[in-house]
A and B are shown apart, each in its own frame.
Chain A
Amino acid sequence: MNPDPGAARPDLNQEKSLLSRIWQHRALYIAISPFYLLFAVFGLFPIGFSLYLAFHKWDGIGVMTYNGLNNFKYLLSDVEFWQAVGNTFMIWIYSTIPMLFFALIIAFLLHAPFVKFKTLFRVGYFLPNVTSIVAVAIIFGALFANNYGFLNYLLQSVGLPVVEWLNAPWGIKVAISSMVVWRWTGYNAVIYLAGLQSIPNTLYEAAKIDGASAIQSFFRITIPMLRPVILFTVITSTIGGMQLFTEPQILVGNDGGAGAAGMTIVLYLYRESFINNYFGYGAAVGWGMFLIIALFSIVNWKLVQGKSS
Chain B
Amino acid sequence: MTSRSLKSVVLYIGLIGGMIISMFPFYWLIVMSTRTTSDIYTFPPKLWFGGEMWSNITRVLQQIDFWGAFLNTLFVAGMVTILVLFFDSLAGFAFAKFEFPGKKWLFVLLIATMMVPSQLSLVPSFVLMATFGWVGSFKALIIPGMVNAFGIFWIRQYATESIPNDLLDAGRIDGCNFFRLYWNVALPILRPAFAFLGAFTFIGVWNDYLWPLIVLTDERKYTLQIALSQLNGLYNTDYAMVIAGTLLAVIPLIIMFLFISRQFISDIAAGAVKD
Q: Which residues of A pack against B, CB within 8 Å? A: 2-8, 18, 21-22, 25, 27-29, 31-32, 34-36, 38-39, 41-43, 45-47, 49-50, 53, 60, 102, 105-106, 109-110, 112, 114-115, 119, 121-128, 130-136, 138-143, 147-150, 152-153, 156-157, 182, 185-187, 190-191, 193-195, 198, 228-229, 232-233, 239, 242-243, 245-246, 250, 266, 269-270, 273-274, 279, 282-283, 286-287, 289-290, 293
Contact = CB atoms under 8 A, between A and B. Distances in A.
A4 B159 CA distance: 13
12 contacts: A4-B97, A27-B179, A35-B87, A60-B130, A115-B15, A126-B265, A130-B203, A142-B40, A147-B41, A147-B43, A186-B22, A279-B127
Interface string B21-53: 111011011001000000011111100000000
Contacts of B6: none
A192 to B, nearest CB: 9
Contacts of A127: 22-23, 26, 254, 257
Contacts of B225: 132, 134
A274 B125 CA distance: 12
A49 B122 CA distance: 11
Interface bracket on B: 35 or more
A198 B119 contact: no
A43 B93 contact: no
Contacts of B95: 32
Contacts of B126: 273-274
Interface in B1-21: 4, 8, 11-12, 14-15, 18-19, 21
A223 to B, nearest CB: 16
A38 B270 CA distance: 28
Contacts of B234: none
Interface in B243-275: 243, 246, 249-250, 253-254, 257-258, 261-262, 265, 268-270, 272-273, 275
B98 interface: yes
Given A124-B22, A274-B214, A289 B119 contact: yes
B60 to A, nearest CB: 13
Contacts of B43: 147-148, 152-153
Interface of B: 4, 8, 11-12, 14-15, 18-19, 21-23, 25-26, 28-29, 32, 40-45, 87, 90-91, 93-95, 97-101, 106, 109-110, 113, 116-117, 119-128, 130, 143-144, 146-149, 152, 165, 168-169, 172, 177-179, 182, 203, 206-207, 209-210, 214, 224-225, 228-229, 232, 239, 242-243, 246, 249-250, 253-254, 257-258, 261-262, 265, 268-270, 272-273, 275
A24 to B, nearest CB: 9
Nearest to A251: B232
Contacts of B119: 243, 245, 266, 269, 286, 289
Contact of A232 (B143, B152, B272): B272
Contacts of B97: 4-6
